[in-house]
Amino acid sequence: MNGPVKRRGFFITFEGGDGSGKSTQAGLLAAWLRRRGRSVIHTREPGGTSIAEAVRRVLLRPGGRVSPLTELFLYEAARAQHVAEVIRPALDAGKTVLCERYTDATEAYQGWGRRLPLSDVRAANRFATGGLKPDLTIFLESPVEDGLRRARARGGGDRLERESHDFHRRVKAGYRSIARREPRRVKVVPWAEGAERVHARVVKIAESFFSGKP
């Protein structure tokens, strides 16, 4: 006799440029979902495991010198561990996973920002994740200058936050390209004054998603 079939959970990612409010909005949505009885794992990339957090410190250390290709491989190594140790087991257990950044960030930052070949970046993403894609992605779209000002106000900015405005404009263009390519998965939420106003928009998207609406 076969055992019970595991119910796969839901995988939701938050994407956007630096200072766009991903951590705030992911935290607010996690609380909203928990109040409705869902079991939620809130995690981030790079990070979420001891190995990935160690890689995060290398990647984001101000003043660190990392070549674009090394940067890509470090992100993918951290992601492979994160998927194996946290994300996939949580989904297999029927939990809802909220992750700040995932493969779209690598395409936007390393593909568009660093100008690495997009086909290679997408192939690396697939290999590191075993093809695991989010069910829903919230793209928090913020003006580049405003986002960087908020990010750098937290303590001067990490290595990527200190990149040029042109770099961050390319990243934003990358995110927009992904949203156009996958409109059913990627929902764009424009920046608005006040976290609660943005949260209200995110909740509407989540309600539609969980009710099975397109």
Structural domain boundaries of the chain? 10-210
Instruction: Strands of 3-153 (E only): list them.
Output: 10-16, 40-44, 96-100, 136-141
What is the predicted pLDDT for the residue at 148? 74
What is the predicted pLDDT for the residue at 115? 98
Q: What is the mean pLDDT of each run of 10 residues along the chain (214 residues)?
A: 60 92 95 97 97 94 90 98 98 97 98 98 98 97 80 72 87 97 97 89 96 65
- Contact 184/135 with Cβ under 8 angstroms? no
What is the predicted pLDDT for the residue at 175? 97
Rounded Cα distance, 91 and 109, in Å: 26
What is the predicted pLDDT for the residue at 1? 40
Its pTM stands at 0.91
Q: Rounded to the nearest 5 degrees, what angle is found at the Cα of 30, between the Cα atoms of 29 and 31?
A: 90
CATH topology of domain 10-210: Rossmann fold (3.40.50)
Q: Give the strands of the sheet with 136-141, arranged side by side.
A: 40-44, 96-100, 10-16, 136-141, 186-190
Q: Which of 75, 71, 187, 185 is nearest to 127 (CA)?
A: 75
